[in-house]
Amino acid sequence: MLHELFSPSVQHALDLAGIFVFAISGALLAVRKNFDVFGIAVLAEVTALGGGLFRDLIIGAVPPAAFTDLGYFVMPLVATALVFFLHPEVERIQLGVNVFDAAGLGLFCVTGTIKAYEYGLSLTSSAVLGLATAVGGGVLRDVLANEIPSLVRWDRDLYAVPAMVGATMVALCIQWDVLNTATGALAVVTAFSLRLLALRFHWRAPRAWNRRSSTAEEA
């Protein structure tokens, strides 16, 4: 099904681009946490490949693509080198990094959902794994950096919701037998656009209704 949306070469190039941008975000957090070069590389690799590894292990696609394609492993190391030597310059183009990160989010939630379905999962389970593919690496990144994952923090702009929307769109397209290049691209663009709008207007998920808490809120 994936090969019907993108040619193998295009799919591979898109995967590498998404991996690279996710790795940049992991490496930048490692620098902010004052990690050494090994720590930067680990966080870059985990952020870039964690979601895909989790998906592949769940669906039984072993060995995972991250271990069979050298480019998947090397691309985070390239991001590590870039951030290690040029992190002040990379920080200054954070807006651009966010845009590409949003694009990677949109791409991976779609391809993750399709791949899970191809391995026999139900539509609901496939959409869940599509979401996990897109956000799983970021969760592992934050855990390793000893931070509350951005995925569950109320003071972070919507991240999981755009991926959830994109994955759900793919599942519905499969259900209605209308999944093709156009509808797949629409799902990618929708998730991408929702993430950019959330960044622009600081959209956040609501907290509990009429909540009462004595816990100090974090900035």
Query: Given this model, what pLDDT does residue 144 score?
Result: 95
Query: Given this model, what pLDDT does residue 217 score?
Result: 53
* Within-domain flag for 206: no
What are the residues whose beta carbons fall under 8 Å from the beta carbon of 214, sequence distance 6 or more? none
* Within-domain flag for 62: yes
Query: Given this model, what pLDDT does residue 216 score?
Result: 52
Of 168, 155, 166, the closest CA to residue 193 belongs to 166
User: What amino acid is encoded at 109 in this protein?
Assistant: C
Residues 97-126: tens digit of each pLDDT: 888 889 999 999 999 999 999 999 999 999
State the SS3 of 87-110.
HHHHHHCHHHHHHHHHHHHHHHHH
Boundaries of domain holding 84: 2-201
Query: Given this model, what pLDDT does residue 68 score?
Result: 92
Transcribe 27-81 into DSSP letters: HHHHHHTT--HHHHHHHHHHHHHHHHHHHHHHHT--S-HHHH-HHHHHHHHHHHH
* Within-domain flag for 148: yes
Of 77, 76, 54, the closest CA to residue 65 belongs to 54
**DSSP 8-state code for residue 146:** T
pLDDT tens per residue, the chain (219 residues)? 665 676 788 888 889 989 999 999 999 999 999 999 999 999 999 999 999 999 999 999 999 988 999 999 999 999 999 999 998 888 787 788 888 889 999 999 999 999 999 999 999 999 999 999 999 999 999 999 999 998 888 889 999 999 999 999 999 999 999 999 999 999 999 999 999 999 999 999 888 887 765 555 544
Would you give the end-to-end CA distance of the chain in angstroms?
44
* Within-domain flag for 216: no
| Region label for 60, one of left (φ > 0), alpha (ψ between -120 and 50) or beta (otherwise) | left
Query: Given this model, what pLDDT does residue 207 score?
Result: 83
* Within-domain flag for 130: yes
What are the residues whose beta carbons fall under 8 Å from the beta carbon of 174, sequence distance 6 or more? 114, 117, 123, 126
* Within-domain flag for 214: no
Query: Given this model, what pLDDT does residue 219 score?
Result: 45
* Within-domain flag for 210: no
Cα–Cα distance, 170 to 102 (Å, whole number): 17
* Within-domain flag for 209: no
Number of domains forming the structure of the chain: 1
Query: Given this model, what pLDDT does residue 136 score?
Result: 96
Rounded to 5°, the CA angle 59-63-66 comes to: 95
